[in-house]
Structure 1
Amino acid sequence: MAEKLLNDPINSTETIAQAQKDMRTGYANGSVGIIVSGLMWLISATVSHLYSTQNAVWTLLIGGTLIHPVSILLYKIMGLRGNHTKGNPLGNLAMEGTFFMILCLPLAYGLSLLHAEWFFQGMLLIIGGRYLTFSSLYGIRLYWILGAALAVAAYFLFYSKASSFGTLATGSLIEISFGIFMFVSFRKKKI
């Protein structure tokens, strides 16, 4: 009997699907976090326009640290969980993606020392890459489109020598639009 249990294949597809459903339910498809991130880009765009690009760099860096706690607060206000079930194996992937993104921040900051606007274009690439993993976290392939949209925008903005404000506004528009779409799709499926 024990030998049979050891040799039986585990239905990992079902386990992954359950973990993804838990993530979708707990975080409303990740929608609120995307919207809050987009708002941080919008605030940074405003700072860039009114003050300076360097201030906008620090605004985005500091604002980025607030995305998760502000999102959790908003989830709670909306009556959503704002977390995943303890033991969900995808929770580790989410944390690992966050650490990878944090480790990339010095690269983006280094770009800003050459040309300040490159920081924001570098961040679009970094964040776009992180969103690609959200497809596995949530089981929603549309995250590939978000990641690709941010990456393509970064390349286009770089080659067109876009201003910091233009890059920040573009990142904000992409994230807020996508976040709203994800929230609406979450609500429709819940009804």
Structure 2
Amino acid sequence: MEMSVTQAQSDMRQGYYSGATGILASSLAWFVAAGFAALASPPQAVWALLIGGMFIHPVGLLLCRLLGSRGSHEKGNPLGLLAGASTFWLIFCLPVAYLLSLWQPALFFPAMLLVIGGRYLVFATIYGMRLYWVLGLVLAGAGFALAVLKASVFAGALAGAVLEAVFAIACVVQHRRFAAIMPARERRSQH
């Protein structure tokens, strides 16, 4: 039996803590990059985010399990394929952002905010949560504003870190609300 879109989204929310742990892991990578921007050099900050980005998914899964989610979705959930496709899109954009950093290091972080913001828009469908529309548009808007204002590498990295940390907290709160109302919905649907 095929899952409905609503069932698939519910499964993704339950399996991945509504994506909150991934946002939090991403925020940590951005904070590390901001540290490198402040204490080392722009190229090291760029590499810190690129390398840290490779750990977002495993750290997010670890956090899922620590918080009681399974860190996976049910076999046959079609939204798992959408999540995978959006990951490839993100990876395909990384060389463009990196090449941009070779030309103008301060543009790397705004470019990454635009790319990651675009990916979060896909998460609105994956998780069935409007929060991801807001997160995606806020990150993209911040990326654009930072580029126009010619913000420093540190400001770009710190903006990404802080914005994702704030949205990670908002996502945790929303996930807990979903989790609290889900048992009541399931009981009503069984009658």
Would you say same fold, with TM above 0.5?
A: yes
Partner secondary structure for residue 99 of structure 2: helix
Q: Give 1:165's aligned residue.
A: 154
Q: Give 1:22's aligned residue.
A: 11
Give CA deviations for 1:134-174 in whole Å, capped at 9, x if unaligned: 01100111211111001110111011110011011111111
TM-score by length of structure 1 reads 0.91
Query: 2:51 & 2:102 partners in 1: Cα distance?
Result: 18
Query: 1:189 & 1:126 partners in 2: Cα distance?
Result: 28
Q: Give 1:3's aligned residue.
A: none
1:90-105 map, 5 Å: 90-105=79-94
Shift of 1:189: 2.9
Q: Give 2:100's aligned residue.
A: 111
Structure 2: 5+ residue runs without aligned partners? 181-191
Partner secondary structure for residue 84 of structure 1: coil
Give CA deviations for 1:56-111 in whole Å, capped at 9, x if unaligned: 11110010000000111111122211111111000000000000000010110111
Alignment size in residue pairs:
180
**Partner residue of 1:77 out of 46, 49, 66:** 66
Q: Give 1:137's aligned residue.
A: 126
The ranges of structure 1 where at least 4 consecutive aligned residues each deviate by more than 4 angstroms after the TM superposition are: none
Shift of 1:117: 1.2
Given the alignment of the two structures, is residue 46 of structure 1 paired with residue 35 of structure 2, yes or no? yes
TM-score by length of structure 2 reads 0.91
* Percent identical residues: 49
Q: Give 1:185's aligned residue.
A: 174
**Partner residue of 1:60 out of 33, 49, 54:** 49
Query: 2:61 & 2:38 partners in 1: Cα distance?
Result: 29
